[in-house]
Amino acid sequence: MFSDNAKRFISAYNQIDQSLRNQFDLSKSISYTEAVRKSARFNAVVKRFEDKLIDYGRLRNAIVHSYNENEVIAEPRADVVDEYEKIATQICTPPLAIDTVINKDVNTFTHDTLLCDVIEAIYKSGNSNWPIYKDGMLIGVANSRKLIKEIGKKIYEKRDLNEYVNNTMIEDAINEFGQDTYYTIANKNVTLDKILNLFSENRKLSLIIITETGSLLEQPIGVVAIGDIMDVNKHLDNFS
């Protein structure tokens, strides 16, 4: 008969196997290892533990395919079972960003705010990203690095900086940022693994704005910045 450790280990395996197939609509005909490989392309947690998940899959096979139930050829240690169960929890029921790392104290500006006022707010707050709204709709993000680049451009062009920052609306300033996708929007159900995915998929991403349904017409209920990635990983490490 299987030991308690073996039963727990097999249960964790089954949870992960089923969750990956459901999350990513994977065929029942592919192996667990292939399911892990495919899922790692889209899930940061799976990617992080990819090799370990595959090794544990082999251990599971050694347990369940024993020739003699009374003489199991592999027995998982307690610490291995604990780790596998923890990984299973992160994959199957990942924590929501809204319950963990997001900054809920979000300040925004309207489109007609002068650039000088935005720059002053960035300096005073230390906050590098400020969502910009026009008639209740998100139209962009005032990003400190991009604003510095634009100011540098104006210096190069011999523009009068005092005139530029005191007479330019923030909408006009962010319209000069170009087409880089440096921010995105997500709904309140976005999970920490999805947060990691978004930053991993787009290396230029600076800010994720979270609203009720992920609509541009909603005010933010929280944000996650690129600088929060360490906290995201820490929460996942401690989540069980």
How many structural domains comprise the chain? 2
Q: Which of 23, 58, 93 is the last residue of a domain?
A: 93
Q: In what order do the strands lie in the sheet with 222-225?
A: 183-187, 207-211, 222-225
* Burial of 44: CB neighbours in 10 Å, binned 0-12, 13-18, 19+: buried
State whether the Cα torsion 80-84-85-87 is positive or negative: positive
Which domain CATH number covers 174? 3.10.580.10
**Which pLDDT score is estimated for 157?**
94
């994959």: which residue's tokens?
Answer: 91
Closest CA to 44 of 202, 181, 187: 202
Residue-number span of the structural domain to which 11 is assigned: 4-93
Identify whether residues 128 and 79 lie together within a single domain. Answer: no
Structure tokens at 16: 């992960």
Same structural domain, 107 and 172 = yes
Q: Within this chain, do residues 80 and 121 fall inside the same structural domain, yes or no?
A: no
Both 223 and 180 in one domain: the answer is: yes
d(CA 228, CA 178): 25
Residues 190 and 211 both lie in one domain: yes
Cα–Cα dist 178/158, whole Å: 21
pLDDT per residue as tens digits for the range 206-220: 999 999 999 999 999
Residue 135 falls in which region: left (phi positive, over 0), alpha (psi -120 to 50) or beta: left
Q: Are residues 14 and 110 in the same domain?
A: no
Which residues lie across from 131 on neighbouring strands? 141
Please identify, among 93, 128, 146, the residue that sits at the C-terminal boundary of a domain.
Answer: 93
Q: In this structure, are 38 and 73 located in the same domain?
A: yes
* Placement of tokens 């707050």 in the chain: 125
Same domain, 85 and 103: no
User: In this structure, are 115 and 191 located in the same domain?
Assistant: yes
- How many C-beta atoms lie closer than 10 Å to residue 113's C-beta? 19
Position of tokens 């002068």?
A: 114
Inter-residue contact 110 to 219 (CB < 8 Å): no
Quote the DSSP letter at residue 214.
Answer: S
Residues 147 and 187 in one domain: yes
Q: What is the mean pLDDT of each run of 10 residues along the chain (240 residues)?
A: 86 96 93 96 91 95 72 81 94 91 90 97 94 97 95 95 96 91 95 92 94 96 93 82
Domain identity same for 142 and 105: yes
Q: What is the pLDDT of residues 42-72, one digit of tens each?
A: 898 999 999 999 999 999 998 887 656 556 6
Distance CA 182, CA 7 (A): 46
- Note whether 115 and 222 are same-domain residues: yes
Query: What percentage of the chain's residues is helix, strand, coil (to nearest 5)?
Result: 50, 15, 35
Q: Which of 60, 93, 126 is the last residue of a domain?
A: 93
Q: What is the Cα–Cα distance from 154 to 176, expressed in whole angstroms?
A: 11
Alpha carbon of 82 to those of 18, 78, 107, 240: distances in Å?
19, 6, 41, 10
